[in-house]
C-alpha cells in the first residue's frame, strides 16, 4: 500500500513539473490604453552607464507623472 501511495505521489509531482515546464507560450501582456508610447530607458550593461541610466529613469518617471496629472485633471474637469 505504501508503494502505491508513493507511486501516485510521484505521478502527481511529475505531472505538475511537466505542466510547468511545457506550458506553451507565455501569456501576452497588453499595455493599457491610457499609457502613451514614451520611450522606456534601456538597462545598462556596463557599470559606467548606471549614472546615465538613473537620469533617464528619473526623466521617464517625471514624464509619466506629468502625463498622469494631466489625465487626472481632464477627468476631474469632465472633458
d(C-alpha 22, C-alpha 25), whole Å: 9
Radius of gyration of the chain (CA): 24
Is residue 13's pLDDT more than 60? Answer: yes
Confidence label for 8 from pLDDT (cuts 50, 70 and 90):
very high
Count Cβ atoms within 10 A of the Cβ of residue 60 and give its class: 0-12 exposed, 13-18 middle, 19 or more buried. middle
Give mean pLDDT, residues 4-18: 93
Higher pLDDT pick, 69 / 27: 69
Residues found in the chain: 79
pLDDT digit string (tens) for 43-61? 888 889 899 889 988 988 9
**3-state SS, residue 40:** coil
Looking at residue 62, its pLDDT comes to 92
Confidence label for 21 from pLDDT (cuts 50, 70 and 90):
confident
Sequence ranges of the domains in the chain? 39-79
pTM of the model: 0.45
d(C-alpha 78, C-alpha 64), whole Å: 21
Amino acid at each position: 500500500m505504501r508503494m502505491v501511495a508513493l507511486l501516485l505521489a510521484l505521478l502527481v509531482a511529475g505531472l505538475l513539473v511537466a505542466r510547468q515546464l511545457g506550458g506553451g507560450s507565455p501569456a501576452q501582456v497588453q499595455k493599457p490604453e491610457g499609457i502613451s508610447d514614451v520611450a522606456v530607458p534601456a538597462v545598462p550593461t556596463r557599470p559606467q552607464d548606471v549614472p546615465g541610466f538613473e537620469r533617464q529613469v528619473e526623466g521617464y518617471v517625471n514624464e509619466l507623472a506629468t502625463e498622469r496629472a494631466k489625465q487626472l485633471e481632464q477627468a476631474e474637469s469632465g472633458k
